[in-house]
Structure 1
Amino acid sequence: MANSPSNQPHRSISLPSRPHPLVPQIDEHISRLRSSEVASTSVPQLPSLGHKLNILKDLYDCLDNLILLPQNQQKLMQFCNARCIDELLDGSLRLLDVCGIVKDVVSQVKEQTQKMQSSLRRRSNAELSIGDEIVGYVNMRKKTKPMMKRCTKDVKGMMKKITCQKGGDHENVVMVSVLKEVEGVTAEIFESLLDAISGSKAQFYKRGASLSLVMCKLIMYQSEAFEKEEEEVSKNEFEDVDSTLSSLIITQKKRSCLNVLQAENLRRQLVKLDSTIQDLDEILEGLFRCLVKTRATLLNIFYY
């Protein structure tokens, strides 16, 4: 005889039969972020990354609204064990740290860029030379690049860890799956952003370089830097300025002042970089606040 409905065993599951409308919105934001990924062989372009960061902000707004739903908070408290909680909080803290470091670096670049622009405006073409402002920018870039590389290594470690964690016992909790997915796509965007700001092509001139190396660089820059400037579409604003300053520091050893073409090229690149940096600085500030809010919400759920 078949079991009656009253005799059927009852099983509690955390995944709702019909997901909340915010879940498809989050999926859509993640799909948009991953569908426009920059090819690994090209240099990430800053306007594209700025667009992605704006989508990421919208994604965190949806995520926060989803977390704040009482039923989702209840499921997180009920089904998350200590290991799951540690993983979620550790991920949120790492993302917050990386975002803070990137934000600080962008602020430093903005400050040094504005100093260089001010210096160039005060001088005539005949007086232009490698001044303290340019040296300050170059030194700042040298100091921040190792820090950015460490952040990149940390982000890659996060992405690998998230991949290894998939399929765990807590994967049937929809909120945990959503949080992990958002953490993963955020790490991917930060990796591209770190690569774009760090730059890999332009290498600043070192005082200890041999004479033959300096002469090789001098010949290379003099023959190619300006004639092929418009063709180097793979560079972004950071690499343009880095490459130009590397060239100027080398050629300065052969003449006392910059020529008109070099000066105008540098001015144009600084204006472009400054405009991009202003936008990036504002977007990162907003995203940083979103990450702080998400982490605070998780801490309140698990510990207060």
Structure 2
Amino acid sequence: MANSSFMEGVHLPLRSISLPSRLPSNSLKIVAELSKLKASESSLRAKTIRVNMARLAELYVSIEELIGSPLTQQAILRDRNGKAMQKALDESIMSLDTCWFARDLMARMKDEVQDLWSAIRRKGGINSSIESHAKGFMSFRKKAKRDIAKYLVQFKTLEGKNTNNSSKFLNSDNHIVMVVEVLKEINLITISILKSLLIFASPTKTGGWSLASRLMLSSEKGVKKVLNEVERVDSTVSSIREQATRKADAGSEALKVAQERLETLEHCMEGLEDGVDRLYKRLIRIRASLLNASTAP
């Protein structure tokens, strides 16, 4: 699997995994899987993002088993004030909220792409129907741009708060503290992978970077711009709108290109929608497990 991003030089930093060594075998397996995920968590390639979400969803199965293990349940009972589980619950809110947003965004993007693709498949050049659908698609993308930007700002704040916080849990003999640290790490990696998904889906700005890309690459220099599946469609739809405004003849070739790009993006969205949906369901189960653990008698 390729780990390179469609934008060379992109790096989305997260703190390195540094967990206590005195963990049960199940936890050590989880840590090993987290380390593997970190090798490609910041990739902005659709295939890599989809694979990462699938691996993450499977990893949450092991996390759920860890929470429900007798050792963890005994540790929870000894944690009389319940602060450890409450901390894990608090930190899971953002990943769950982001996953819900990403899940909804993928579904809506797929619907918009399908509508425009169907309009273009009909006979004729750029007609009023295609123009109307293209306008609706661009309006949707404009709103998505604002929504995605809000989440990216939250991510930057989260990363700032967690730059050097892992050391307080190191070398601890307290099992519940170790479990919370594992939960913290998988939560941060979940946020990182979802961030990659949102940046991938972020609308472009004509003649330059997308807002999301500029936020993440403001300090980068010499980065080569390569259009991904989403950006190619954005560019094509913008071109269709411009030709419609000028009453220009788009020609069959231009519409053929648009149709091919939309079809490619539709397949891409289907895979990403399925991946983020499975991840969302796992996050719901994990939160339920944490709630049950925190309210255990």
Counterpart for residue 188 of structure 1: 192
In structure 2, stretches of 5+ residues that fail to align are 1-18, 209-223
2:263 corresponds to = 271
Alpha carbons of 1:179 and 1:126: their partners in 2 closer, same or farther (altered >3 Å)? closer
Q: Is the 8 A contact 1:128 1:263 kept in 2?
A: no
What is the one-letter code of the residue matched to 2:25?
P
1:162-177 aligned at under 5 Å gives the runs 162-168=162-168, 172=172, 173-177=177-181
Counterpart of 1:262 in structure 2 is: 254
Q: How large is the Cα RMSD of the aligned pairs?
A: 2.7
Conserved in 1, the CA contact under 8 Å of 2:85 and 2:180?
no
Deviation at 1:203, TM superposition (A): 6.7
Match of 1:209 in 2: none
Using the size of structure 2 for normalisation, the TM-score is 0.78
**Following the alignment from structure 1 to structure 2, what is the Cα–Cα distance between the partners of residues 282 and 235?**
23
- TM-score calculated relative to the size of structure 1: 0.76
**2:53 equivalent in structure 1:** 53
Q: Tell me how far 1:19 sits from its aligned partner.
A: 3.3
CA–CA separation in structure 2 for the residues paired with 1:80 and 1:113: 52
Q: In structure 2, the residue corresponding to 1:163 is in which secondary structure? A: coil
Q: Which moved more, 1:47-56 or 1:24-33?
A: 24-33
> What CA deviation, in whole Å up to 9, does each residue of 1:102-159 have, x standing for no partner?
1111111111111111111222347587422211111111111111111122223223
Q: Is 1:292 equivalent to 2:284 in the alignment?
A: yes
2:242 aligns with 250
The counterpart of 2:232, out of the listed 236, 240, 265, is 240
Which of 21, 25, 31 aligns to 2:25? It is: 21
**8 A Cα contact 1:126 1:258, kept in partner:** yes
The 1:28/1:17 distance shift into structure 2, 3 A limit, reads closer
- Given that 1:117 and 1:267 are in contact with CA atoms closer than 8 Å, whether structure 2 keeps it comes out as yes
Q: State the one-letter code of the partner of 2:256.
A: E
Partner of 1:98: 98
Q: Which amino acid aligns with 1:141?
A: R
Where structure 1 has 5 or more consecutive residues not aligned to the other structure, the ranges are: 1-14, 205-231
Matched, 1:142 2:126: no
The separation in 2 between residues aligned to 1:23 and 1:164, in whole angstroms, is 22
Cα distance 1:38–1:98, how it changes in 2: closer, same or farther (>3 A)? Answer: closer
Q: Which has the larger radius of gyration?
A: 1
Conservation of the 8 A alpha-carbon contact between 1:22 and 1:66: yes
Distance change (3 Å), C-alpha of 1:199 and 1:22: farther
Q: 1:234 to 1:77 in 2, by over 3 A?
A: farther
Question: 1:26 is matched by which residue type in structure 2?
Answer: I
3-state SS of 2:23 partner: coil
